[in-house]
Amino acid sequence: MELDKAIQKRHSTRKFKQKAPDWKDIIECINSARFAPMAGNNYSVKFILIKDKETIQKLADAAQQQFIAQTSYVVAVCSNTTRTLNLYGERGKSYLKQQAGAAVQNFLLKIEEKGLATCWIGYFVDYLVKEALKIPPEINIEAIFPVGYSAEKLKPKRKIDLDNILYFDKYNQKKMKPPKTLEV
Ligand SMILES: Cc1cc2nc3c(=O)[nH]c(=O)nc-3n(C[C@H](O)[C@H](O)[C@H](O)COP(=O)(O)O)c2cc1C
Protein backbone atom coordinates (compact mmCIF):
# COMPACT_ATOMS: atom_id res chain seq x y z
CA MET A 1 0.00 0.00 0.00
CA GLU A 2 1.19 3.48 -0.79
CA LEU A 3 2.51 5.29 2.31
CA ASP A 4 0.21 8.34 2.07
CA LYS A 5 -2.81 6.08 1.70
CA ALA A 6 -1.88 4.04 4.76
CA ILE A 7 -1.26 7.20 6.81
CA GLN A 8 -4.56 8.77 5.80
CA LYS A 9 -6.71 5.65 5.98
CA ARG A 10 -5.51 4.50 9.42
CA HIS A 11 -8.16 4.97 12.07
CA SER A 12 -9.10 3.60 15.46
CA THR A 13 -11.58 0.73 15.52
CA ARG A 14 -13.69 -0.13 18.54
CA LYS A 15 -16.04 -2.64 16.92
CA PHE A 16 -14.59 -5.87 15.55
CA LYS A 17 -15.82 -8.78 13.40
CA GLN A 18 -15.80 -12.23 14.99
CA LYS A 19 -13.35 -13.56 12.39
CA ALA A 20 -9.90 -13.97 13.93
CA PRO A 21 -6.92 -12.62 12.02
CA ASP A 22 -3.98 -14.83 11.10
CA TRP A 23 -1.46 -14.41 13.92
CA LYS A 24 1.37 -14.45 11.35
CA ASP A 25 0.02 -11.21 9.89
CA ILE A 26 0.21 -9.63 13.35
CA ILE A 27 3.81 -10.83 13.72
CA GLU A 28 4.58 -9.08 10.40
CA CYS A 29 3.17 -5.84 11.86
CA ILE A 30 5.34 -6.25 14.95
CA ASN A 31 8.31 -6.91 12.68
CA SER A 32 7.80 -3.46 11.10
CA ALA A 33 8.31 -1.91 14.52
CA ARG A 34 11.92 -3.18 14.53
CA PHE A 35 12.80 -0.51 11.98
CA ALA A 36 11.84 2.46 14.18
CA PRO A 37 14.60 4.87 15.24
CA MET A 38 15.97 4.49 18.80
CA ALA A 39 18.44 6.75 20.66
CA GLY A 40 21.93 5.26 20.29
CA ASN A 41 20.28 2.41 18.39
CA ASN A 42 19.38 0.73 21.69
CA TYR A 43 16.07 -0.99 21.05
CA SER A 44 13.88 -0.57 24.15
CA VAL A 45 10.46 -1.75 22.97
CA LYS A 46 9.03 -5.24 23.60
CA PHE A 47 5.81 -6.76 22.28
CA ILE A 48 3.59 -9.43 23.81
CA LEU A 49 1.10 -11.18 21.51
CA ILE A 50 -1.81 -12.39 23.64
CA LYS A 51 -4.24 -15.07 22.49
CA ASP A 52 -5.46 -16.50 25.79
CA LYS A 53 -9.14 -15.48 26.18
CA GLU A 54 -8.99 -15.17 29.97
CA THR A 55 -5.95 -12.91 29.77
CA ILE A 56 -7.64 -10.76 27.10
CA GLN A 57 -10.67 -10.40 29.40
CA LYS A 58 -8.34 -9.32 32.24
CA LEU A 59 -6.87 -6.65 29.94
CA ALA A 60 -10.34 -5.39 28.97
CA ASP A 61 -11.18 -5.16 32.70
CA ALA A 62 -7.88 -3.42 33.52
CA ALA A 63 -8.68 -0.84 30.82
CA GLN A 64 -12.38 -0.69 31.67
CA GLN A 65 -12.96 -0.94 27.91
CA GLN A 66 -14.90 -4.08 27.13
CA PHE A 67 -14.59 -3.79 23.34
CA ILE A 68 -11.04 -5.11 23.79
CA ALA A 69 -12.52 -8.53 24.64
CA GLN A 70 -14.20 -8.72 21.19
CA THR A 71 -10.85 -9.56 19.63
CA SER A 72 -8.95 -12.86 19.41
CA TYR A 73 -5.57 -11.17 19.74
CA VAL A 74 -4.19 -8.30 21.76
CA VAL A 75 -0.70 -6.85 21.43
CA ALA A 76 0.84 -5.27 24.52
CA VAL A 77 3.72 -2.84 24.00
CA CYS A 78 6.28 -2.47 26.80
CA SER A 79 9.59 -0.70 27.30
CA ASN A 80 12.67 -2.23 28.82
CA THR A 81 13.97 0.90 30.53
CA THR A 82 17.34 -0.34 31.83
CA ARG A 83 19.79 0.47 29.01
CA THR A 84 18.23 3.75 27.94
CA LEU A 85 18.08 5.05 31.53
CA ASN A 86 21.66 3.91 32.24
CA LEU A 87 22.88 5.71 29.12
CA TYR A 88 20.81 8.89 29.19
CA GLY A 89 19.60 9.31 32.79
CA GLU A 90 16.58 11.59 33.25
CA ARG A 91 16.42 12.43 29.53
CA GLY A 92 16.14 8.71 28.84
CA LYS A 93 12.62 8.75 30.30
CA SER A 94 11.50 10.98 27.44
CA TYR A 95 13.45 8.91 24.89
CA LEU A 96 11.66 5.75 26.04
CA LYS A 97 8.26 7.32 25.34
CA GLN A 98 9.37 8.72 21.97
CA GLN A 99 10.82 5.36 20.96
CA ALA A 100 7.65 3.50 21.94
CA GLY A 101 5.63 6.02 19.87
CA ALA A 102 7.88 5.57 16.82
CA ALA A 103 7.68 1.77 17.06
CA VAL A 104 3.89 1.87 17.54
CA GLN A 105 3.36 4.09 14.49
CA ASN A 106 5.24 1.59 12.28
CA PHE A 107 3.10 -1.18 13.76
CA LEU A 108 -0.12 0.79 13.11
CA LEU A 109 0.74 1.55 9.49
CA LYS A 110 1.49 -2.11 8.81
CA ILE A 111 -1.81 -3.06 10.50
CA GLU A 112 -3.50 -0.75 7.97
CA GLU A 113 -1.61 -2.24 5.04
CA LYS A 114 -2.60 -5.76 6.12
CA GLY A 115 -6.31 -4.79 6.18
CA LEU A 116 -6.41 -5.31 9.95
CA ALA A 117 -7.78 -2.89 12.54
CA THR A 118 -6.93 -1.83 16.07
CA CYS A 119 -7.27 0.91 18.65
CA TRP A 120 -4.43 2.41 20.68
CA ILE A 121 -5.37 1.81 24.32
CA GLY A 122 -3.46 4.11 26.65
CA TYR A 123 -5.89 4.12 29.55
CA PHE A 124 -5.60 1.16 31.94
CA VAL A 125 -4.65 0.37 35.51
CA ASP A 126 -0.94 -0.43 35.16
CA TYR A 127 -0.60 -2.95 37.95
CA LEU A 128 -3.57 -4.98 36.68
CA VAL A 129 -2.03 -5.22 33.19
CA LYS A 130 1.37 -6.05 34.66
CA GLU A 131 -0.18 -8.74 36.85
CA ALA A 132 -2.11 -10.29 33.93
CA LEU A 133 0.99 -10.39 31.70
CA LYS A 134 3.60 -11.16 34.39
CA ILE A 135 5.55 -8.04 33.49
CA PRO A 136 8.56 -7.43 35.81
CA PRO A 137 8.78 -4.13 37.76
CA GLU A 138 11.57 -2.56 35.65
CA ILE A 139 9.50 -2.92 32.47
CA ASN A 140 7.01 -0.15 31.59
CA ILE A 141 3.73 -1.02 30.00
CA GLU A 142 3.14 1.58 27.27
CA ALA A 143 -0.09 0.65 25.50
CA ILE A 144 -2.27 -2.24 24.43
CA PHE A 145 -3.78 -2.94 21.01
CA PRO A 146 -6.74 -5.23 20.37
CA VAL A 147 -6.30 -6.51 16.81
CA GLY A 148 -8.98 -7.82 14.46
CA TYR A 149 -11.07 -6.89 11.44
CA SER A 150 -13.10 -3.70 11.62
CA ALA A 151 -16.87 -3.97 11.82
CA GLU A 152 -17.27 -0.19 11.88
CA LYS A 153 -18.72 1.99 9.16
CA LEU A 154 -16.06 4.40 8.02
CA LYS A 155 -16.87 8.00 8.92
CA PRO A 156 -14.99 10.94 7.41
CA LYS A 157 -12.07 11.83 9.66
CA ARG A 158 -11.92 15.11 11.51
CA LYS A 159 -8.24 16.01 11.46
CA ILE A 160 -6.45 19.15 12.57
CA ASP A 161 -5.56 21.69 9.86
CA LEU A 162 -1.91 22.18 8.94
CA ASP A 163 -2.37 25.90 9.77
CA ASN A 164 -2.95 25.00 13.40
CA ILE A 165 0.25 23.03 13.90
CA LEU A 166 2.88 24.74 11.76
CA TYR A 167 5.03 27.74 12.70
CA PHE A 168 7.98 29.31 10.91
CA ASP A 169 11.31 30.29 12.48
CA LYS A 170 9.81 30.66 15.97
CA TYR A 171 6.95 29.39 18.05
CA ASN A 172 3.61 30.99 17.16
CA GLN A 173 4.86 32.64 13.93
CA LYS A 174 2.34 31.51 11.37
CA LYS A 175 3.83 33.06 8.26
CA MET A 176 7.05 32.32 6.44
CA LYS A 177 9.20 35.38 5.83
CA PRO A 178 9.26 36.31 2.14
CA PRO A 179 12.63 35.55 0.49
CA LYS A 180 15.01 38.55 0.25
CA THR A 181 15.11 39.99 -3.25
CA LEU A 182 18.52 40.72 -4.71
CA GLU A 183 19.27 44.37 -5.35
CA VAL A 184 21.28 45.11 -8.50
C1 LIG B 1 -1.62 7.80 23.72
C2 LIG B 1 -2.99 7.41 23.24
C3 LIG B 1 -3.88 6.84 24.13
C4 LIG B 1 -5.16 6.43 23.70
N5 LIG B 1 -5.98 5.77 24.56
C6 LIG B 1 -7.17 5.34 24.13
C7 LIG B 1 -8.00 4.56 25.00
O8 LIG B 1 -7.64 4.23 26.14
N9 LIG B 1 -9.21 4.15 24.51
C10 LIG B 1 -9.65 4.45 23.25
O11 LIG B 1 -10.75 4.04 22.88
N12 LIG B 1 -8.87 5.17 22.39
C13 LIG B 1 -7.65 5.60 22.81
N14 LIG B 1 -6.81 6.26 21.93
C15 LIG B 1 -7.23 6.47 20.52
C16 LIG B 1 -7.61 7.91 20.21
O17 LIG B 1 -8.82 8.22 20.85
C18 LIG B 1 -7.69 8.08 18.70
O19 LIG B 1 -6.43 7.81 18.13
C20 LIG B 1 -8.11 9.49 18.31
O21 LIG B 1 -9.44 9.72 18.68
C22 LIG B 1 -7.96 9.77 16.82
O23 LIG B 1 -8.71 8.86 16.07
P24 LIG B 1 -8.04 7.95 14.93
O25 LIG B 1 -7.06 7.00 15.63
O26 LIG B 1 -9.20 7.22 14.30
O27 LIG B 1 -7.31 8.84 13.98
C28 LIG B 1 -5.55 6.66 22.34
C29 LIG B 1 -4.63 7.23 21.45
C30 LIG B 1 -3.37 7.58 21.88
C31 LIG B 1 -2.38 8.13 20.88
Residue 17 lies in a domain: yes
Kindly tell me if the per-residue pLDDT of 179 is higher than 90: no
User: Has residue 180 been placed in a domain?
Assistant: no
Write the residue with the smallest CA distance to atom 21 of ligand 1.
12
Nearest ligand 1 atom to the CA of 14 is 11
Q: Are 129 and 139 in contact (CB under 8 A)?
A: no
Give 7-32 pLDDT, tens digit per residue. Answer: 999 999 999 999 999 999 999 999 99
Q: How far is the CA of 120 from the centre of ligand 1 (A)?
A: 5
- Interval 43-76: pLDDT, tens: 999 999 999 999 999 999 999 999 999 999 999 9
Task: Look up the pTM and report it.
Answer: 0.95
Mean pLDDT of the 146-162 span: 92
Rounded-to-integer distance, Cα 55 and Cα 53, Å:
5
**AA letter at 172:** N
- In terms of residues, how long is the chain? 184
Is position 165 within any domain?
no
* Distance from the alpha carbon of residue 178 to the mean position of ligand 1, in angstroms: 38
- State how many domains the chain has: 1
Whether residue 139 lies inside any domain: the answer is yes
Report the CATH number that the domain containing residue 23 is assigned in CATH: 3.40.109.10
